[in-house]
Amino acid sequence: MDFKSLKVYQKAFSLAMRIFEESKSFPSEEKFSLTDQIRRSSRSVFANIAEAYRKRKYPKHFVSKLTDCDAENAETQTWLEFAYSCNYLSEEKKVSLTEDSYEIVRLLNFMIHNPGKFGAGD
């Protein structure tokens, strides 16, 4: 199995792509602040999943990387809320993106609590 076949990786990649598209409409003065931050945090989730998967031989490293993913995902949720508060996202978009983010949390938590199911320690 490759990390790209993990459901959590696919969902995180998809969410980052959706955020990328939505953030194209953010004001130009946000380019080096909100736009950059939300794109980086959302991309870090799937990138860290890939890194975690490669470190699964070492369960503690695997879980540590997954908790990094969870933290980046929480940061993304915070930026989504901020973008909504600034009227850069509609409520519908914010809710949809946030729900996808929470699905990623659930999948990450399953992996964190069940590393052996993902080959950790093998």
Please give the pLDDT value at position 120.
Answer: 76
Give the closest residue to 66 by CA, choosing from 57, 56, 75.
56
The low-confidence residues of the chain, meaning pLDDT below 50, are none
Please give the pLDDT value at position 75.
Answer: 98
- Strand runs labelled E in 22-73: none
In tens, the pLDDT along 31-52 reads: 889 999 999 999 999 999 999 9
The encoded tokens of residue 89 equal: 């996202």
Q: Which domains does the chain have, with CATH numbers?
A: 3-115 (1.20.1440.60)
Please give the pLDDT value at position 122.
Answer: 72
Range 30-34 contact pairs with CB under 8 angstroms and sequence separation of 24 or more: 30/88, 34/79, 34/82, 34/83, 34/86, 34/88
